[in-house]
Every structure is written in C-alpha cells, then in structure tokens.
Amino acid sequence: MSTTLAPRPYESYVYAYPHKTAYRPLEDRPALRGLWAGERKDALSLYLHIPFCEVRCGFCNLFTRIGAPDELTTRYLDALDRQATAVRDALADSEAGAERVRFAAAAFGGGTPTYLEADELDRLCDIAEKRMGADLRAVPLSVETSPATATADRLAVLAERGATRLSIGVQSFVDAEAKAAVRPQRRAEVEAALGRIRDARIPVLNIDLIYGIDGQTEASWRRSLDAALAWRPEELYLYPLYVRPLTGLGRLGAGADSAWDDQRLRLYRQGRDHLLAQGYEQLSMRMFRRPDIPFQDAGADDYACQTDGMIGLGCGARSYTSALHYSFDYAVDMREIRAIIDTYTATEDFSRAEVGRRIDGDEARRRHLLQSLLQAGGMAEAEYRARFGSGPAEDFPAELARFAALGWLDESAPTGLLRLSPEGLAYSDALGPALFSPAVRASMAAYERK
C-alpha cells in the first residue's frame, strides 16, 4: 500500500483534451480545406450537436439553452445544413488523387437531440447522410435523449434511420434526489420512457446515473442501481456529481469538501462492485457494459479517438485534425449561450475555423496517453512508440513515477501494457488533469467564465 498522499479524487471530468476553456479565437481563421488537406479521412467520426433542452439540470454546464422560440430549431437546422455543405466541400474527396472520405461512427448529442420533433430528427439524419455522406445504417449511431423527449414517434424515426445506441440521462430513480439535483422528473415518467425505448428495439440502451447528490445514501444509490438493472441496459454510465461555476447548483452555493469526496468515492466503489457482480465489464471509471452485446452494436471497431479525426457540426461541437482542435465560442451562462446560438444561425460562411487550439507534438503525446490510460484496457506501449518514436516512460517519467507511487498503475499488467489499477481507475478524475500541459493549464486558468 502506497504511503504517498493521494490528491483529491474529483478534480475534473476529462472527456476531451484540451478542454474548450483552453481554446482561443484563431487570428488567421484558417480555411477548413487547408486544415483537412493532409489528414487521413478514411475513419472519421461525425458529431452533430443540438443545443436545446426542455429544462436545464442544476449540475449541467453543457452548451445548451432552455427552449427554442420563434422557429429557432428550423433556423438552427438551416445553419447546420449550410455548415455541413461547407465542411463536406472542404474535405474535397472528389479531387483527383484525394483520399476517400468515410465515416466510421456518428453521434447526435447536446443538449438533447430528441428535443427536435420527429420530422426535424429526420432532417437531422438527412444532413448527416445527404450532405456529409455518412451511411447511418452501416455505422454505429449513438443518440442522447431524456425521459420527457423519448417519445414513440421520435424513437421510431431514430430506429428507422439506423440508431444503434440510445443514451438516456436518468441520474436518479429516487424522486427526492432528482429534485435535489434540480432535475424535475418523476420515476414513473422515467420508467415509461425506458419502456418506449425498449419497444423501439434500438440495440443498445445506456442509462446515465449520478452519485454524490445531496441526501443520497448507500441504500438509495442501491435502489437507483437496481432500478436501472431491472431494464438490463447494455451499458451504464456512473457519473460523480460536480458543482461547476454558473450552473444552478453552483449559484446555490454548493461546493466540494473532503466529506463529499469521501461520499462520492464510497458510492463509486459500491456502484462499481455491484455492476461487476451483476456481470458487467468496466471499460473506464464511468462506463460499464454487458459482455453479451453483439460486436457490431458496441461501437466503431476501426475508429480510435487518440488518432482519428472528428467532424463536429453545430455551435457546440468540436472538430479535430492532427494539428488543430477547433469549434465556436464557448459559454455556460444562458444569456451568453443564446447569443452564440443566434450568431451561429445567422452565419452564412462556415468555411473557416474560428476558435480553437493548436496541437503540437507534446500535446499530441499527452492526449494519446491520457485518452488511452483512462480506458480500463490500458495502452500498448508499442503503439505509442510506433506513433511518436519514443516510449511513454521517456516522455512522462515524473508523471508515471508518481502514478506508480500512488498505486494507480497495475503492476500485474503484461509487459508492454500500461494499465491502471482499480484504484487508478477510481482516481481517473485526478489522474487525467495531472497530464495537462502547463500551457493548457495556464489557458484554462486565464479563461474568463461567461
């Protein structure tokens, strides 16, 4: 057992690196055609962002607004169509000798994509297929939804258009806990939505749950876990609650302390152990999957987030080339988000990158290590060396030595495999930020919240 003092376990959830708070306006506004000219395009991921929700949960800092008055969804889809046309033109696979563009995976996120009406979801799929050239029935297609918007007509559209995975944010099956998280829903509504999802026969159901809610106990957490397990979901995500600035809970003055850290860590371990006992496999700190999912429904088998590019459409989406990550402006405050959406819907020219961050060799190494190490399967050091010409221990000796001293690395892993221990997975939200570069940390610290 390590005697090294462990850091607090919940520094931040690292779902992408660098974070958008490290992005800045790009003074040269580079043309997309030039950015993608030398990139591999044979296994891209396509992400379409819908920034609308019927309500905003107290913990949410996603780029989304409540409601969409005055035909805003129509204007947004019009802008999304214009952006898709410009991006597809920039990929320029029709030129002689150009590499064929192929999408290996697709996702609709938000916000809540199913905030759109059924005919609007049809149009969203048309944008992905007819404008971008993604074959939605031939690749994994993941869509996020909510209990209130998972209606039968919407689900029927998604099932017919090829959705293979539906992710529903339940967070808690206990009504008092949902209320404490400022998420107005009742368990009966959640159960009815889950029934409609199962009736739609979309192959993979994912249920999101949150631990660390005010008033939550081991017993109530177990009730939520068992309520979710009753539906035999193919996937479950267990998220620790975070209270972030400018969110509803943040404005209420909620904050982190060591007792809350202890509670979340205790509930995480309880949830992990319960799901493992029920036969689920742990793929990351958050993600658990049933091992009997058909391979083709589990996700893209030829897309790697560490190396392959992403095309993001919509005002909250990111796009990744090997040298630049780019998006649009970012905000959490509702007034700022509304202004950004209004600017997006009025935009005619989507041929240039506006906001982003350059990715040099050091940042590419950090990103590769971080996104690989946070997966339960770990990282083959040979793959890292083949890409960068050096080993992770050569590039990050201090960081890996510290992780080992903390007991976060699996000493029983086969030679050549860098893998986290169960304790390392538990501390993923401390380990991930420890790999941020000083430059990214400085940019994130200098970001003016809005």
Q: What is the pLDDT of residues 67-108, one digit of tens each?
A: 888 899 999 999 999 999 999 999 986 554 456 899 999 999
Q: Of 26-40, 54-68, 415-429, which gets the smallest average pLDDT?
A: 54-68
Q: What is the mean pLDDT of residues 9-25?
A: 91
- In sign, the C-alpha dihedral spanning 430, 436, 438, 441 is negative
Q: What is the mean pLDDT of residues 99-123?
A: 93
Do residues 317 and 49 lie in contact, with contact meaning Cβ atoms separated by under 8 Å?
Answer: yes
Do residues 179 and 171 lie in contact, with contact meaning Cβ atoms separated by under 8 Å?
Answer: no
pLDDT band at 296 (very low <50, low <70, confident <90, very high): low
Q: Of 99-108, 299-308, 359-368, which gets the smallest average pLDDT?
A: 299-308
Q: What is the mean pLDDT of residues 302-319?
A: 79
Percent of the residues in the chain that have a pLDDT greater than 70, as a whole number: 90
Residue 144 has pLDDT above 90, yes or no: yes
* pLDDT for position 52: 87
Residue type, 199: D
* pLDDT for position 252: 46
Mean model confidence pLDDT for the chain: 90
d(CA 310, CA 349): 20
Write the burial class of residue 275 (CB in 10 Å: 0-12 exposed, 13-18 middle, 19+ buried). Answer: buried
d(CA 157, CA 144): 14
Closest CA to 429 of 247, 256, 206: 256
pLDDT tens-digit series, residues 316-343: 999 999 999 999 998 878 888 899 999 9
Q: Of 56-60, 145-149, 296-300, 402-406, which gets the smallest average pLDDT?
A: 296-300
Q: Of 5-19, 36-50, 193-207, 222-236, which gets the smallest average pLDDT?
A: 5-19
Tokens of 194: 């889950």
Residue 298 has pLDDT above 70, yes or no: no
How many CB atoms are closer than 10 A to CB 350? 21
User: Does residue 61 or residue 12 have the better pLDDT?
Assistant: 12
Residue 75's contacts (CB-CB under 8 Å, 6 or more residues apart) are: 345
* Residue 326 DSSP SS3: strand
Do residues 291 and 279 lie in contact, with contact meaning Cβ atoms separated by under 8 Å?
Answer: yes
* pLDDT for position 201: 97
* Residue 259 DSSP SS3: helix
pTM for the predicted model, two decimal places: 0.92
Pick left, alpha or beta for residue 428 (phi over 0 → left; psi -120 to 50 → alpha; otherwise beta).
Answer: alpha
* pLDDT for position 308: 65
Q: What is the mean pLDDT of residues 10-34?
A: 93
Tokens of 165: 């995975």
* Residue 438 DSSP SS3: helix
pLDDT band at 255 (very low <50, low <70, confident <90, very high): low
d(CA 65, CA 43): 32
* pLDDT for position 58: 55
pLDDT band at 302 (very low <50, low <70, confident <90, very high): very low
* pLDDT for position 110: 87
Write down the residue that tokens 């946070």 correspond to. 374
d(CA 307, CA 304): 6
Closest CA to 344 of 137, 63, 125, 107: 63
d(CA 94, CA 172): 49
Angle, vertex CA 166, rays to CA 104 and CA 273, nearest 5: 100
pLDDT band at 184 (very low <50, low <70, confident <90, very high): confident
Write down the residue that tokens 């690395």 correspond to. 409
d(CA 135, CA 389): 36
Residue 340's contacts (CB-CB under 8 Å, 6 or more residues apart) are: 63, 315, 328, 329, 330, 331
Q: What is the mean pLDDT of residues 390-414?
A: 97
Residue 415's contacts (CB-CB under 8 Å, 6 or more residues apart) are: none
Residue 297 has pLDDT above 70, yes or no: no
Angle, vertex CA 184, rays to CA 178 and CA 188, nearest 5: 75
Q: What is the mean pLDDT of residues 351-357?
A: 97
Write the burial class of residue 319 (CB in 10 Å: 0-12 exposed, 13-18 middle, 19+ buried). Answer: buried
Q: What is the mean pLDDT of residues 273-292?
A: 97
